[in-house]
Structure 1
Amino acid sequence: MREKFWERYPLEELTTEEWEALCDGCGKCCLVKIEDDDSGDIATLNVACRLLDIGSCRCSDYPNRFARVPECTQLSLDNLDQFHWLPHSCAYRRLAEGRKLASWHPLRAGNGRRMHERGMSVRHFAVSEATVDEADYEAHVIDIIPLDAPR
């Protein structure tokens, strides 16, 4: 990868490897989200995808995630604007909005330890969807993003 690529190149010029390296590994995009059919609001739960290794905040089967979890979505430059629910801390969102990577981001900090220490990952609050009945999802809502929220 090119040195400090996240500072030197726009998202459109990143290689696939560089694009993937932007992921801070927080696991927030792997939390279950439910869209309200009437309002379009999106509720985020503390329930993580069954493939998320909550301890490492990484997908346990990244190469096969789309086959195993059909609702898993590929974030790309072409669809980045559709992911208005991405947290403001997300590197993809930060760079798309013209902001810099956070100081705790693994590319800046050298590893993911600072991110976890700062509480930026789901490690300390997520539960696996394998342990939660869908009927109980309402009790696990941690955030609601209105459809008309600023992007």
Structure 2
Amino acid sequence: MSRQQWESLCDGCGRCCLQKFHNGKTGKVTYTWVSCYLLDTQQCRCSDYENRTIRVPGCLVLTPSQIPRLRWLPRTCAYRRLSEGKGLESWHPLVSGDPQSVHRAGISVRGKAISEEYVHPEDVDFYAIGYRI
């Protein structure tokens, strides 16, 4: 798979750019509605994709070999689904032919996420999502 093909698997939901809490004892990951400051919360795309790992040291460059170990990726994530031998969802832009379908299906963080720029670090836990995404 070429880099362009790999990158096209991203559905643009923005879920992987949300801050998360990891419970080391249980392994449970709790997402929050607080996003990375580089996420454009309306477009659900990184505002500086090429430089994101420099500007946000914890940002990952996803590779096929990493995906099976990244259990925190959303269940809807195309990278995760393909790694698990599943197909793409009907709302995925590569299936629907429409980059807005991920938003219309309610999968993206559009209208839900708030940038970390507007949240005090001590208040992030108030934005915890009470269900699995």
Q: How far apart in 1 are the matches of 2:24 and 2:81?
A: 28
Distance 1:143 1:110, change over 3 A: same
Aligned length: 132
Deviation at 1:40, TM superposition (A): 3.5
| 1:42–1:144 contact (8 Å) kept in structure 2 | no
The CA RMSD measured in Å over matched residues stands at 1.4
For 2:28, which of 41, 62, 68 is the aligned residue? 41
Q: Please report the TM-score for the alignment, with normalisation by the length of structure 1.
A: 0.82
Is residue 2:15 matched to residue 1:28?
yes
For 1:139, which of 118, 126, 129 is the aligned residue? 126
Q: Please report the TM-score for the alignment, with normalisation by the length of structure 2.
A: 0.92
What amino acid does structure 2 have at the position aligned with 1:23? Answer: C
Structure 2 stretches lacking a partner, 5+ long: none
Deviation >3 Å, runs of 4+? 37-40
Deviation at 1:91, TM superposition (A): 0.6
Is residue 2:48 matched to residue 1:61?
yes
Question: SS of the residue aligned with 1:19?
Answer: helix
What amino acid does structure 1 have at the position aligned with 2:111? Answer: H
Percent sequence identity over aligned pairs: 45
Question: SS of the residue aligned with 1:20?
Answer: helix
What amino acid does structure 2 have at the position aligned with 1:113? Answer: Q
What amino acid does structure 1 have at the position aligned with 2:43? Answer: S
Q: Which has the larger radius of gyration?
A: 1
Deviation at 1:111, TM superposition (A): 2.0
Q: How far apart in 2 are the matches of 1:73 and 1:143?
A: 25
Is residue 2:61 matched to residue 1:74?
yes
Q: How far apart in 2 are the matches of 1:92 and 1:101?
A: 9
Q: How far apart in 2 are the matches of 1:45 and 1:62?
A: 21
What residue number does 2:97 align with?
A: 110
Structure 1 stretches lacking a partner, 5+ long: 1-13, 146-151
Deviation at 1:115, TM superposition (A): 1.2
